[in-house]
Structure 1
Amino acid sequence: MRPRPGEVLHFSEDPAITVFRPHVAATARQSEAYVWAVDDVRAPDYWFPRQCPRAMAWTVPGTSETDRERVLGPGGGERVHAIEYGWVQRFLSVELFAYRLPTAPFRPFGEPVPHAHVAVEPVEPLGPAEPVGDLLELHREAGIQLRVLDNLWAFWDAVIDSTLGFSGIRLGNAAPRPQLPARS
């Protein structure tokens, strides 16, 4: 599910929101109250259950061929999303909804490349919540590789040490980072 021209999207497991009011998100790094939404490029970041930890990587103009092969892998396409096995059933069964919102009250948010759009005033959806549908199929149709791992941390470390674009969402909900073996 992607926004149409003149729209941004807000994804939620709540199908009954009638007005989005600015708030400070529990995971926010800033103190300002916002209504959060995403554009076409960042919509796939939210094709997940809300609390699902995910590590995502994609090619950008400066991506090296070495990093593409090392992180995305052969046949990996331009983008990969990774989740943990412990989240697969929730990923497959969640009822996720998208709200279409007008772009007018929103501005891009994030540096150096915006990762969201924010509004500082209440925003009414353009219509009722729309079911997003089968998240696995949505990934397939978009050409996004979905990788399922025991633990996200080794993948995340490789991603952030690469020339790929990346985003990590709800990583605090991921399984703990594996302990390194003790040195003898």
Structure 2
Amino acid sequence: MRPAAGQVLHFSEDPAITRFEPHVAATAQQPEPYVWAVDAEQAPAYWFPRDCPRVLAWPGPETTAADRRLLFDRRVHVIEYGWLPALQTIRLYAYRFDAAPFRPFGSPQPHAMVATTAVTPLAPAEPVGDLLALHRSAEIQLRLVTDLWPFLDEVAASSLRFSGIRLRNADPRR
């Protein structure tokens, strides 16, 4: 589930939203209100239940050969074992928007698209479907671990590109 050219997506567990208003998220690190969405490259980061803590890693142009071997030269998503049942049963939906009102957000690499005005989806929300099958068809390795923190520490110290999402919901560091 990725956006078509000229579109961005917003993933939600609520299939009944008809208008998205800019807001300041509870976890926001900036005071500006936004409507949040993702482009095709970032969409797989949201093929999860909203609150699922996850670490994502992938090779970039600057990644060393040794670090590529950590991932078998592919994108990897890592979650805790306890989140597998939710990943298998969640009903996730995607809203499609025209990309025109959105701009890239984040530096040095943008990790989201944001709009500062209200936006209306192009159509009703679409069921995303089987999240494990999405990972498989995208050739993204999904790893289950008992503890996210060692993997996060390893990729943070490497030349890999990475992201940690909803880490406040992860089991505490051991």
User: Which TM bucket (shorter chain)?
Assistant: over 0.9
| Structure 1 stretches of at least 4 aligned residues deviating more than 3 Å after TM superposition | none
Secondary structure in 1 matching 2:19: coil
Q: 2:23 aligns to what?
A: 23
Q: 2:110 aligns to what?
A: 114
Q: 1:67 aligns to what?
A: 67
- 1:77 and 1:145 in contact (8 A); partners too: no
User: What is the one-letter code of the residue matched to 1:146?
Assistant: L
Give unpaired runs (5+ residues) of structure 1. 179-184
User: What is the one-letter code of the residue matched to 2:124?
Assistant: P
Distance 1:164 1:28 in 2: 25
Q: 1:6 aligns to what?
A: 6
**Structure-to-structure mapping, 1:134-149, within 5 angstroms:** 134-149=130-145
Secondary structure in 1 matching 2:9: strand
Q: 2:125 aligns to what?
A: 129
Q: 1:182 aligns to what?
A: none
Per-residue CA deviations over 1:83-105 (Å, capped at 9, x if unaligned) read 00110100110000000011111
Note the C-alpha offset of 1:160.
0.7
Note the C-alpha offset of 1:78.
1.4
Give unpaired runs (5+ residues) of structure 2. none
With structure 1 as the length reference, what TM-score do the two structures score? 0.93
Note the C-alpha offset of 1:77.
4.1
How many residues are treated as equivalent by the alignment?
174
- 1:63 and 1:163 in contact (8 A); partners too: yes
Percent identity between the aligned chains?
63
Secondary structure in 2 matching 1:126: coil
- Aligned match of 1:156 in 147, 152, 155? 152
Per-residue CA deviations over 1:117-136 (Å, capped at 9, x if unaligned) read 00000000000000000000
Of structures 1 and 2, the larger Rg is shown by 1
Q: 1:96 aligns to what?
A: 92
